Amino acid sequence: MLVLGLETSCDETGAAVVHADGTVLSDVVQSQVKVHAPYGGVVPELASRDHLKNVRPVVLEALTRAKVSLADVAGIAVTCRPGLTGALLVGVQAARGLAWSRDLPLVGVDHLVGHLLSVFLRFPDVAGPPAPAYPFVALLASGGHTALYRVDGPELSRIRELGATRDDAAGEAFDKVAKLIGLGYPGGPVIDRLAKEGNPEAIDLIWPMRRKGSLEFSFSGLKTDVMRWVEKNGLPGDDQTLRDLCAAFQRRVVDTLVGKAVDAATREGVTSLVLAGGVAANRELRERAKARCEAHGLTLVVPPFRACTDNAAMIGYAGSHRLAAGENDAGALETSPNTALARVTRKGRGLRN
Ligand code: KG4
Ligand code: ZN
C-alpha cells in the first residue's frame, strides 16, 4: 500500500511517497530556512506564503521521484496538528483537493506521532538502524517540542507522554542562545560545531531541572543564565571563549535530555530508547546517549538525520496505519495548534493532575 504524505506545519514544505512497511520511495523537503533567517526565527505569515508557493511543485516532485501517479496511491496523509495554523491550512487544503479529485481517503496526522514513528522509515540509500520493538521510550526534541513518550504501538491511543518541557523546547533554546551570541539561525548545527572545540567546564552555567525523579524539562532558565553571563562578560568574539560558552550550554542541555530519557526508559522497563526530532542530530547528544544506554543495558535507536528533521515521509508512514484500518477524515479534517496527545506537563509551573 502506497501513501502520499504532506507536511507543512512549520518551516518545511514536504511531500513523500511511502510504503506502509516504512519504505520511502521519495521524500522531498523544501526548507524555508533562508526565508526566516534574517528574522532569527520563523515568521508565521511568511511561512504560509512560502508553503502556498511550494506545495504544488513539491507534491509533483515527490510523485515524479517515486515514479508513481496519484492513481497508484491508496490514500493521503497530511499533518493537521500541532503547528502554525496558516501553515497547516495550506497542506490540509492541498491534501483535501487532491483526495477529492481522485476520490482517495484522507487522514490527518499529528506531527508529533510522525516524529515518534520516524524510526520505522527505511530509505533505500541510507543504512538505518534496526527498528525497535514496541514498547519503547522516545525522546522527541525539536525546535517546537521536547518531551518523553512511552510508545506501545503506532496509534495515538497507545502513545503516552511521560514528561515534557514547561517552557522552551530544547531546539528553541539552541536557537535563542545562538541568536543571543550572534551565531544566526538555526542555532543547533552551529553550536554543535563550535562546542566540539570548547571546554564545557570552563564556564559555570546553571543545570536545568535537576530534581531527581522528575521527567519534566525547563530550558528558559539556562537561556537566561547565558544572557546574564553575556551581560557580565560581554559578547565573546570568535575565540576560545565562544567555543567554551557553546560547550558549556550544550553539555547542560544534552546531559539533562540524556539523563531523563534514560531514567524514563529504565522506569518504564523497556529495552529501547529512541531519539527523534531535529535536536537528535546533535553529535554530543548521540554520543552521550549511546554511552549512557550501554551502561544501563538499553539499545539506543537513532533514525538517520533526514528522518529526524521535519519531513513528509514520517507523516505518510504514521497515516498508513489509519488508512489501513479503513479510516477517512475527508470532510471532517480540522487543524489545531495543539497536539492530540494528552499532556501531563503543564506549561509554566505546577503538575497537571
Ligand atoms: O524537528 P525540526 O527540524 O523542526 C521542528 O519540528 O522544530 O527541528 C529543528 C530544531 C531547530 O531548533 C534546530 O536548531 C535544531 O533542531 N537542531 C539541532 C541540531 N540540528 C538541528 N540542535 C542541536 N544540534 C544539532 N546538530
Ligand atoms: Zn517537527
Atom of ligand 1 nearest to the CA of 178: 14
- CB of 11 within 6 A of ligand 1: the answer is no
Indicate whether 39 pLDDT > 90. Answer: no
3-state secondary structure of 276: strand
Question: Ligand 1 pocket check: which of 10, 181, 223, 279 to mutate, most ligand atoms within 8 Å of Cβ?
Answer: 279
SS3 content of the chain, % helix, strand, coil (to 5): 45, 20, 35
| pLDDT tier for residue 127 given thresholds of 50, 70 and 90 | confident
pLDDT band at 183 (very low <50, low <70, confident <90, very high): very high
More confident residue, 346 or 317: 317
pLDDT in tens, 299-325: 999 999 889 999 999 999 999 999 999
Q: What is the mean pLDDT of the chain?
A: 94
Q: What is the mean pLDDT of residues 246-263?
A: 98
* Position 76, amino acid: I
- Tens digits of per-residue pLDDT, 96-122? 999 999 999 999 999 999 999 999 999
Q: At what angle do helices 170-180 and 240-268 cross, to 10 degrees?
A: 170
Instruction: Look at 126 and 273; give whichever has higher pLDDT.
Output: 273
